[in-house]
Structure 1
């Protein structure tokens, strides 16, 4: 484990650099309550967890290489997962709409046209493994089970809201309604503000594309798989602030671009929100065109 603290191999094993890895372990101990066990350090627990979720490695494989029992590997995995989930409030923060995002404020192409936009929102179907008797509820447009996940992000590429857990057969509008109407952690939309969205979920500024890639199929129950999705979003936010990997981001962008080209567009849900979105887009477009013409004179 000492090698992970200083070696470039750390990124290959954990998908983060040595300094980011060490700081992440300290964060999980300080704020997540993660503790070493009699025979296993926090660093080893975290390294195993990150390696499992980033490389889709099975429990028995980790048991073989780390000389630990399968029960120990599983117990430590869930301890780290619980610690990461406890950081949700620290790393997933919704904008209050009081400030114009600097990515818009400092860009003449976007300001003042998008000054009331607080972020971007989209959906994705994440592939999951479920019991055969539950598979029909999770098999929607795909020929395999998925979870329908709604996510919002700020313009600095960090998640601000994530709602995982809905079965793949759940309609996009149903997931969006759940996000806006939940009693607890719900998607907040400040008065007069909106999200940039694509085709799929109706919300003022337009619609969201219902599918963006897929994920691994871990051998965990579906509730744990939902927690893993949330944990990955938290880790993403941590890394974007501590150790952004531009090569990895570019690789993901290329994969998403290829999948978008190969993916057939699903049916578009149209309702009153969709009409409002079209009106808002047309208004912004008209404003931008008017300013462009005026500047040419």
Structure 2
């Protein structure tokens, strides 16, 4: 009997507790509605109006201050910025909220990317909470990643105009579709992972990129450890199925530096021979290998210049960002997409050296239309790999000989004698 009495008392207490909880919820809900109605009747507070006015004045200074105020603040000119905001709205990648517009979301995020600004600095300038700044920064990164297929397309299977119009490169590099190289970006990681990412100059992530001679990125693979070998990262890029892998066409190739090897789809310079442009200052090539290396370096330097423009435009790539590592990877990808975006919609931007144009097509549709794409996911025996490399080394030798004969006919009165070969 006592047990039944205790059970009844327990049920009564539970019912009373539940009833009280419901009453608290209803009271809180009604109080909030009352406060909201009072706020709507009385209008925004003086403090809120002061903050909104300060933000409005800041945005006006960005767009209507000095002629270069917009570019200095968000790393692109006003026309490009407004087109980006329109694109984000049209594609529903970003939306105006009750308290913050798409333009302000972009201004905050682009200033962080362009000037490695801290969260607390954005809080002060835009009078926003740190959570708000962080939330919209991540939303903008996600939105930029979703326009990657529109502004970063893999290299087409055709001769780049920069090669076609230059007699030093054409017809010798007529099958070259771009250049590849790696660059290091400072990284912040948990102590347990630091050793994997540490290299001689600090803790970094190793980024593989491909670009065309007009300094547009066509492929980017970020997130590898700074200690990883460039060739290993390239193999990873090639082993990924399309559209995530680096695309190489049959008979076409990328130019790469001596950190890689000459193999199907890639031609590196001759080792043990002068290569960098500064090594040829005041000296003319003495043999076919030096001439090949000189012109190879001249064309491949385009990607080094592209990296320079990228890091000069987006200073966050030269700092140690205090974000989770996946976000650090997204930041690298976002900066490369923005680089291509600026070059596409505002080719006269002073930070760019050349004008560019990209047709706005769907990347996935492009892939299905391409033919003669080399499948690097298929295994090969060691003998087959060595045979393929020998064939491509022979191709490099033939290109070097054709260059040398043409060079001698133009500048050495047909004398093809070589020294220091």
1:202, CA displacement in angstroms? 2.9
User: d(CA) in 2 for partners of 1:78 and 1:278?
Assistant: 46
Q: Residue 244 of structure 1: CA displacement?
A: 4.2
Does structure 2 retain, via aligned residues, the 8 Å contact 1:205–1:280? no
Residue 53 (structure 1) shift? 1.0
Counterpart residue number, 1:55: 115
Task: Identify the residue that residue 257 of structure 1 maps to in structure 2.
Answer: none
Which residue of the partner structure matches residue 134 of structure 1?
193
Q: Does the residue aligned with 1:217 lie in a helix, a strand or coil?
A: coil
* SS in structure 1 of the partner of residue 192 of structure 2: coil
1:235 equivalent to 2:338? Answer yes
Q: Residues 245 and 219 of structure 1: is their aligned pair in 2 closer, same or farther, counting only changes over 3 Å?
A: farther
Partner of 1:289: 404
SS state at 2:150 partner? helix
CA contact (8 A) 2:210 2:219 kept: yes
Q: Give the alignment's TM-score, normalised by structure 1.
A: 0.84
Q: What secondary structure sits across from 1:134 in the alignment? A: helix
Higher percent of residues as helix? 2
Deviations 1:186-209 (A, max 9, x none): 001100000111221335301799
Q: Could you state the TM-score of these two structures normalised by the residue count of structure 2?
A: 0.60
In the alignment, the residues of structure 1 paired with residue 342 and residue 107 of structure 2 have an alpha-carbon distance, to the nearest angstrom, of 15
Contact 1:96 1:190 in 2 (8 A): no
* CA displacement at 1:169 relative to structure 2: 1.9
Q: 1:115 to 1:23 in 2, by over 3 A?
A: same
Q: Mapping of 1:42-191 within 5 angstroms? A: 42-97=102-157, 99-142=158-201, 144-184=202-242, 185-191=244-250
Query: Is structure 2 residue 263 aligned with structure 1 residue 205?
Result: no
After superposition, the C-alpha distances for 1:1-60 in whole angstroms (9 at most, x for unaligned) are: 244344431011011111111111112222361111111110001011010011111111
Alpha-carbon offset, residue 125 of structure 1: 1.2
Distance 1:279 1:125, change over 3 A: farther
Aligned CA distance change for structure 1 residues 27 and 221 (closer, same or farther; 3 Å): same
- Is the contact made by 1:10 and 1:17 (CA closer than 8 Å) also made in structure 2? yes
Q: Equivalent residue for 1:258? A: none
Say which one has the larger Rg: 2
Q: Deviations over 1:119-173 (max 9, x none)?
A: 111111111111122111111333x211111000011110000000111122212
Contact 1:32–1:84 at 8 Å: present in 2 too?
Answer: no
**Contact between 2:74 and 2:110, CA under 8 Å: does it hold in 1?**
yes
CA distance in 1, matches of 2:184, 2:392: 23
Mean Cα deviation higher: 145-154 or 28-37: 28-37
**What is the RMSD computed on CA atoms of the aligned residues?**
2.5
Q: In structure 1, what is the equivalent of residue 326 of structure 2? A: 223
Could you tell me which runs of 5 or more consecutive residues in structure 2 were left unpaired when the two chains were aligned.
1-58, 270-299, 309-316, 354-384, 415-421
Which structure 1 segments of 5+ residues have no match? 251-270
What is the CA-CA distance between 1:290 and the residue it aligns to? 1.4
Q: 1:59 to 1:276 in 2, by over 3 A?
A: farther
Q: SS of the counterpart of 2:95? A: coil
